[in-house]
Amino acid sequence: MNISFFFPGQGSQTVGMGKVWCETHASVRQRFTTADRILKEEFGFKESLSTLCFNGPDEILQETRVCQPALFVLGYAVAEHLKNSETFKKHTVVCATGLSLGLLTALAVADVWDFETALRVVATRGHLMQEACELQPTGMTALIGGTTEAIGQLCKEFDLDVCNRNCPGQTVVGGVCENLKALQSVAKERGFKLAVPLKVAGAYHSRWMQPAREKFEVFLKNIPFSAPVLPVVSDTTGEILTDPDAIRAELGRQLTSTVQFEKCMRKCATLGFALGLECGSGNVIAGLAKRTDGTLKIQSMAEPKDTEVLH
């Protein structure tokens, strides 16, 4: 069977994530142990990543600097376990992608970097984005329903950016918090079914991430990149990433560019996967896929029992 790997982004983290995987699979546990050491020694984590994932508290796990490494480590470790399992030998991986941070996990699984290098890239990204979030109170709101024209008018009126086009009928906008509150008060009368504030620390994939982008691009200049060993689909262009220099440029640009995840999923569908595996916490991507194309089948791998679908 042809398989595609999907990796979640911020918002999918939950307290307890990865605990059962670590209790039952030594390879997953080893990746968390390595991450605990690197994040404490090099990034100043006071609590181990494992402790924060398994026990919280939720408000710390939600911090950008924490949840990005958390989602990366779990997603990478689960995909690695699957690829190395005896059952997986009868399956073929035809592509990989991810939502925002998840794209970096996909690139690591495609051997663009080794695990430890990828973790440092992700942790640096999370740290710089956290810094940018602290410069000004910003956030994100998911708009359900409405037209493209109505979204454009709201962004112009309230000085917002379109951050994500996730699936038909779901667009995420970001900007200064007081402007988002004003938007929420008028959304229904402008034809939107819902305007839902997201539990995030800032306006990701918008102009407000420019300070993080500039520093991240400088950091990436000294990081070695290899060509992916399998097709990785960009979440901002919907195109396949192949050239190491182009990938380096894409990762900087991604911080301030709209995530076009609907386009990304439609591109993956053309590559002929029969089953997508959402490696990590939650099932956000599975839900987006269902609303994009009812024929797309994506299964969450949040718990070890979920792998039964591959047998």
User: What pLDDT digit, counting tens, does each position of 213-229 carry?
Assistant: 999 999 999 999 999 99
Q: Residue 183 and residue 190: Cα distance in Å, rounded?
A: 10
Q: Residue 293 and residue 160: Cα distance in Å, rounded?
A: 28
Residues 189 and 273 in one domain: no
Could you count the other beta carbons within 10 Å of the beta carbon of residue 136?
12
**Active-site positions?**
100, 205
Domain-ending residue, one of 149, 169, 197:
197
Which pTM does this prediction carry? 0.96
Q: Residue 212 and residue 299: Cα distance in Å, rounded?
A: 33
Portion of the chain with pLDDT greater than 90, in percent: 96
Residues 110 and 39 in one domain: yes
Mean pLDDT of the chain: 96
> What is the pLDDT, as a whole number, of residue 257?
97
Query: 29 lies in which domain range?
Result: 2-134+206-310
Residues 55 and 76 in one domain: yes
Domain-ending residue, one of 197, 224, 247:
197
Our count of domains for the chain comes to 2
Question: Is pLDDT above 90 for 11?
Answer: no
